[in-house]
Amino acid sequence: MLTALLPACGGGGGGGDVDSGGGKGGDAAALYAAYDKIGKGMSLAEVESLVGYAHNNGESHYDNRADYNWIADKGTSDVSVMTVSLLDGGVSMKIINGSKGRFFQSY
């Protein structure tokens, strides 16, 4: 389930992977709530503020785009993954996949 999300976003991995919330990331419900609030042009700092923690599941960098990944409830049946792409420093795309469904928004 998780690997299907990452290739569509240019891959995962890379960067410094950091677990928060006891190694399982945050709460999946909170990650979905943050997804709903993320909007076009937001900075990484604004996204991290909404999520409540820094990206913790890798990042990928391209010429003018960077993809950041969050995981929540790792190791549980509620595991959820969110990828946010920033184009020239502002949110241009977001995807979330997990127990509450898969959603995609491109700006």
Q: Each residue of 17-71: pLDDT tens digit?
A: 333 334 578 899 999 999 999 999 999 999 999 999 999 999 999 999 999 999 9
> What does the block give as tokens for 41?
């042009």
36: left (phi over 0), alpha (psi -120 to 50) or beta: alpha
Residue 23's pLDDT is 58
Question: Which residue in the block uniquely carries the two structure tokens 């949110």?
Answer: 91
Residue 25's pLDDT is 81
> What does the block give as tokens for 1?
């389930």
Angle between the N-to-C axes of helices 44-51 and 28-37, in degrees from 0 to 180, rounded to the nearest 10 = 140
Q: Is the dihedral of CA 25, 30, 34, 35 positive or negative?
A: positive
Amino acid residing at 89: G
